[in-house]
Amino acid sequence: MRAARTIVAGLLRPALRPTALLAAGLSLAALVAINLTVRSLGGDVHALSLGRVSDRVQAVLLLGAHAIGCSGEVAEPQAAVRTAALRHGISPRLALAVARTESSFVHTRISSTGAMGLMQLMPETARELGVSDPFDVQDNAEGGVRYLAQLLAMYRGDARRAVAAYNAGMGRVPVRGLASLPAETRTYVGRVFSRL
């Protein structure tokens, strides 16, 4: 959103108009190319966004690698999430609610921020969790559920705080009160818990 405002502000200044128009055109062309590439690889584009282009490019490259290496067989997303939840000792219902909220069980989804796959892992988070193919249903489910289990341990079993941190980021959720969180995160927590 900030990038869009910067471009619009540039368009309003006559001296910067040619530069801003060029930047806007290049940004739009890059986003269209990214979205077309994702669709051609069988992926699902969640939204068009000017932000976090580098994360989206990484996600597209990983989706391409997945498409090349994919055997054609895809594991059942709900079964993969349920199995991972049982392995990590957390509620399968909670893990399934997070997966449904994140991707609607579409394992090739790329968000506007570059989050990938079934559990919508950001590229850096996927690397930290050892997820080698974020578009592989089992690999993504394992990583995302392990991350959720880590958050549950960090917040001493408080599922609302763990789910909020899954959305907002580890360490961004206060010890007391969720009211100070961004509206997007509060809405996300409500959506997950309405699916339980």
Q: What is the mean pLDDT of residues 19-42?
A: 59
CATH class, range 77-194: mainly alpha
Reported as a single tens digit per residue, the pLDDT across 177-188 is 788 899 999 999
pLDDT tens readout for residues 84-95? 999 999 999 999
- The predicted model gives 66-71 an average pLDDT of 72
Q: Which of 73, 102, 124, 128 is catalytic?
A: 102
List the beta bridge partners of residue 45: 110
Is residue 140 predicted with pLDDT exceeding 70?
yes
Residues 187 and 9: their CA atoms lie apart, in Å, by: 30
Contact 141, 81 (CB under 8 A): yes
DSSP annotation string for 101-156: HHHTT-TTEE-TT--BTTTTB-HHHHHHTT-S-TTSHHHHHHHHHHHHHHHHHHTT
pLDDT confidence band for 27 (50 / 70 / 90): low
When pLDDT is cut at 50, 70 and 90, the band that residue 7 belongs to is very low
Assess whether 142 carries a catalytic annotation. no
**Cβ(99)–Cβ(81) under 8 Å?**
yes
> How far apart, in whole angstroms, are the C-alpha atoms of residue 77 and residue 135?
11
- Size of the chain, expressed as the number of residues it contains: 196
